[in-house]
Amino acid sequence: MPETSELAAVDHSEEHPLKSGEESRPEQSRETPAVRRRLPVERHSLTHHFSVGGQEGYVTVGLYEDGLPGEMFIRMSKEGSTVSGLMDSFATAVSLALQYGVPLQVLCDKFSHTRFEPSGWSGNPKIGYAKSLMDYLFRWLELRFLKGEQGILFELARQAPPQPESGSVVTALRQVVALGDAPVCVICGSLMVRNGSCYRCMECGSTSGFS
């Protein structure tokens, strides 16, 4: 009897891990694999020039049919440098993240306002001072694609050219006639406009005499 009970206990302990392993397999199979949304062979793209702290470069964003970004390429002016290699590799990682479904808003929130060199004035009035290259690029992406400032891309050719207003044409002709034999300003070289009995320069404000 004791031997029988020991054998039963051993058999029960060996069956338990097998059951736990079999029960864990369905849980693993329930995980949904990530699906990559590839861009079409021919796609629209947008290229933007930037300059941060003396580092110039170009960022090119490839777009899906619905206008959302699906890939990004970053080319720095100094090819072969450490910054150029890092930005190229980082752009590849961001492209894969976008194609595997990571929202652009998540990336912008994560990388905006990161601080490291190079940093400085960007020359873009909507961004101003950029704390880093990452800060500039993702704040620009947010302005361009998430805050409604991207406008209608690639449809400018379809729009009819604006018709000049008749009032503006008449005003321009009147100004040209008013110039007549107006002299040239001795200060800045611009044509002067009659102001009473004298002429006044509209650029620098100097006059040809008493007005």
What pLDDT shows up at residue 140?
A: 93
Of the chain, the percentage scoring pLDDT greater than 90 comes to 31
- Please state the rounded mean pLDDT for residues 2-9: 50
Confidence bin at 192 (pLDDT 50/70/90): confident
Task: Give 121-145 pLDDT, tens digit per residue.
Answer: 888 888 889 999 999 999 999 998 9
- Using DSSP's 3-state secondary structure scheme, residue 48 falls into strand
User: Do you find a cis peptide bond into 125, omega within 30 degrees of 0?
Assistant: no
Q: How far is 149 from 200, CA to CA, in rounded Å? A: 42
- Please state the rounded mean pLDDT for residues 184-209: 72
pTM, two decimals, is: 0.55
Residue the block writes with tokens 């949304």: 37
Rounded-to-5 percentages of helix, strand, coil across the chain: 40, 20, 40
CB atoms within 10 A of CB 46: 16
Greatest mean pLDDT among 16-25, 111-120, 149-158, 202-211 lies in 111-120
Mean pLDDT, the chain, rounded, equals 76
Q: Which of 165, 159, 120, 124 lies closest to 141 in space, CA to CA?
A: 124
Higher per-residue pLDDT: 104 or 6: 104
List the single range of 15-19, 46-50, 64-68, 117-121 with lowest mean pLDDT: 15-19
What pLDDT shows up at residue 158?
A: 47
Which residues, 6 or more positions from 140, have their beta carbon under 8 angstroms from its beta carbon?
48, 50, 59, 124, 127
Task: Give 95-125 pLDDT, tens digit per residue.
Answer: 999 999 999 999 999 999 999 888 888 888 8
Higher per-residue pLDDT: 128 or 205: 128
Distances (CA, A) of 184 to 181, 200, 206, 208: 9, 10, 11, 10
What pLDDT shows up at residue 209?
A: 65
Whether residue 19 has pLDDT greater than 90: no
- What token pair was written down for 2? 């004791």
Confidence bin at 61 (pLDDT 50/70/90): very high
